[in-house]
Amino acid sequence: MSASLEQAEWIWRDGEFVKWEDATIHVLSLAVQFGSSVFEGIRCYKTDNGPAIFRLDTHIKRLRKSCRTYRMELPYSDEELIAASIQAVAKNGLDECYIRPMVLRGYGAAGLNPEGSPIETLVPCWPWGTYLGPEALERGVDVCVSSWQRMHPNTYPAAAKAAGHYVNAQLIKMEAISNGYVEAVVLGPGGVVSEGSGQNLFAVVDGTLITPSVDGTSLQGITAESVMTIAADLGIPLRREVIPRESLYGADELFFTGTASEVTPIRSVDKIVIGEGKMGDVTRKIQERFLGLVRGELEDSHGWLTYVQ
């Protein structure tokens, strides 16, 4: 995995494009001081019909909900942000990339009350490959259960995708890597499975797909929701339920989902091999359908792709 971004040339900023190196903010902006910003992570895929952005409208809707939760007045309509995202990909001439719409509180307020700090809106995009490594989608990844946990519900709003929330994810990720793992599974304050550092998690048990209940400790992912729709299309049973830690070790299959992770198999947890230690049949069926849809190889029956003209 690369430790640095591969720069593009242009970033959309409050209605106009600026050069990548000019998209700066003040060091005392609230986004820097207190993590006061919300964002989305969106994939654009290369297809035979040109670049296609996956579930762009759904991501922008979630961005607006995050803004509302944090009392940030978003000065642009969903349609304007959708257009800005499409224009950013086109202006940078990218066939496939990662898009990061951001709404942040800028320079002005001196303390925790954000009144006086302007709202700034940006849409960067840049080339990005497989998040957990080039072989992860096929071979799977080795993970641990983190010593860190997710927050108690009503500590901060897990349904909002806010930058400040991710300091917890950084601790989880750094610990996993320092201990020789690629990623980690995280428990909630009740000691049951929540999610990964930045992914949702699914288990397969006796042919049934299982994912943790909505309990206020995890972000409900758009890729995860797409996987649930794909499972229904494929006739794979699905249920949400509490997943104790020990259920991870006994699962037939495990996999992560997320914009960055896509559908990534988990081959071991805490050095305990999951299933046969490779991608299972159910995971493969879901991954193949997902990648076929996002790459434009299968019919877009759910209207998930927005093509960049």
Residues designated catalytic: 161
* Residue 245 phi, psi (nearest 5): -55, -45
List, in sequence order, every residue forming a beta bridge with 142; answer none if it has no partner.
Answer: 268
Q: Give 110-165 as a DSSP string.
A: SSS--TTSPEEEEE-EE----TT-TTHHHH-EEEEEEEEEPPPTTSS-TTS-BGGG
List, in sequence order, every residue forming a beta bridge with 256; answer none if it has no partner.
Answer: 201, 264
Helix, strand, coil shares, percent, the chain, to 5: 30, 30, 45
Q: Please count the other Cβ atoms lying within 10 Å of the Cβ belonging to residue 290.
A: 19
Torsion of CA 250, 253, 254, 255, to 10 degrees: 180
Q: Give 216-283 as a DSSP string.
A: SSS---HHHHHHHHHHHHHT--EEEE--BHHHHHH-SEEEEEETTTEEEEEEEETTEEPTTSS--HHH
Strands 183-187 and 125-126 come out as: unpaired
> What whole-number distance in Å separates Cα of residue 298 and Cα of residue 303?
12
Number of alpha carbons in the 13 Å side-chain half-sphere of residue 65: 14
